[in-house]
Amino acid sequence: MNLVESLRAHRLLAIVRGKDPAAALRTVTTLAEEGIAAAEVSLTTADALTVIRRARAALGPDAPVGAGTVRTTEDAERAVDAGASYLVTPAVVEGLAGVGVPVLMGALTPSEIERALALGAAAIKLFPASLGGPEYLSALRAPFPEVPFVPVGGVDAAAARDHLDRGATAVGVGSPLIGDAADGGDLGRLSARAAQFRAAIAQETV
């Protein structure tokens, strides 16, 4: 898959992390039904590889379902075997260039960003985005105007819109969107939060 094109198309990457594998799977499929198709299943999720495998089977071969919290080559290989079409790391991780799928690599400082790009990152997960906020993204875009940035960490609906307005390719959202759904929480509330985020993402800059 072309990760950057997918991120530009979807603008929102849902980060699913939970203690209940069945609930995590229901969360991914419910989000897809609500128009949030791009989902990252964190490898810290209970039985994460099975969740990825079943999500892939349920949503089809072209669904943008990836694996998150990838910290080693072994993590990456297992996730790809389970059907992940892209990988997301929390930090700069070496040894992922040969895994066969694109990588959204975590970085925060300019030096980390340069290192991640040198290692073949398709895009940069700006993490934790809450540390510098949208203003920090604006500052980074001056020396890195062509780099696809995906702010992650503490991004609610308002911050999501602000980051996009300042040039983010997409935003990654975990608990403000997922809530307790991946632990067995109410899927109706998940759908309501999904609608809120979709509305924020769809707003045009004034």
125 catalytic per annotation: yes
Which of 62, 100, 94, 63 has its CA nearest to residue 81?
100
Positions of the chain with pLDDT under 50: 205-206
Task: Report the alpha-carbon distance of residue 90 to residue 38 in Å, rounded.
Answer: 18
- In the chain, the amino acid numbered 133 is G
33 catalytic per annotation: no
- The pTM assigned to this predicted structure is 0.96
Q: Please give the pLDDT value at position 206.
A: 38
Task: Report the alpha-carbon distance of residue 172 to residue 7 in Å, rounded.
Answer: 10
Task: Give the burial class of 32: count Cβ atoms within 10 A of its Cβ; 0-12 exposed, 13-18 middle, 19 or more buried.
Answer: buried
Render pLDDT for 87-100 as a digit per residue (tens, 0 to 9): 999 999 999 999 99
Q: Please give the pLDDT value at position 184.
A: 98
- In the chain, the amino acid numbered 74 is E
Q: Please give the pLDDT value at position 162.
A: 97
Q: Give me the catalytic one of 34, 40, 114, 146.
A: 40
**40, 172 in Cβ contact below 8 A?**
yes
Residue whose token pair is 């993490």? 127
Q: Give me the catalytic one of 94, 125, 135, 204.
A: 125
Residue 40 phi/psi, 5-degree rounding, is: -115, 120
Q: Please give the pLDDT value at position 204.
A: 55
